[in-house]
Structure 1
Amino acid sequence: MAESTAKIAEAETQKAKAAQLNVQLKSKIEFQKNKLALHKQQSDNEIAALKQELEEAKIIVDSGEGNKEIVFKYTELKEKMKLERERIAAQAKAAEDNNDNKEDDNGE
């Protein structure tokens, strides 16, 4: 009888530890999600600013007032936007892969 009670107590202890670990892991995942959401928002803001600059450059070039320097800046800005989009896509993919790996490690 005492052995049975000890096994039940040990099982309850293990259950409590598992529940505690589950809460810790969920909070870590939630923290990472929030961190990624903030990073995405910052990146979206950067892209919006770059798009605005690009639109301004397009207006200047299209108005016929553009010279070689303006055309160069326009082209350079266009390339920066392309690189920024690629960087953000790569970061999002890496974060998604990292999140998937964490879920796999947690048995979810």
Structure 2
Amino acid sequence: MEEELRDFIGEGIRIDGRMIPYRLVTAYQYFQAKKYTEEEISKFYTTGIGETVSQIMALKQACYLLRHTSYSCQSLSDSLYNLKMQLILDLKITKGFEFDDPFVEEYGMMK
């Protein structure tokens, strides 16, 4: 499913006739880009860290698309952004895992 969606989107997604540069990235790819071992990644998924990082990535990507496709959804985008930030904080406090949001931007996930 992931590969089919990635093939469909390619390097951009067309919304309302506009091509939005977009790269679909999963939590697993985030962990790989951060150079975690397969053993560490597996542990992240068994401890719930992987699920939370997936949620953070989904919110991050949803905010990006909202901000690039609609002028009337600023409050919705802001709410999703605040939820993302709360998940990042909760992940740090409850699991001791620090999500590297600036790295996500550098990695090019939202370019």
* Structure richer in helix, relative to its length: 1
When Rg is computed on C-alpha atoms for both structures, the one with the higher figure is 1
Give the shorter-chain TM-score range: 0.3 to 0.5
Which structure has the highest strand share of the two?
Answer: 2
| TM score, norm. by length of structure 2 | 0.38
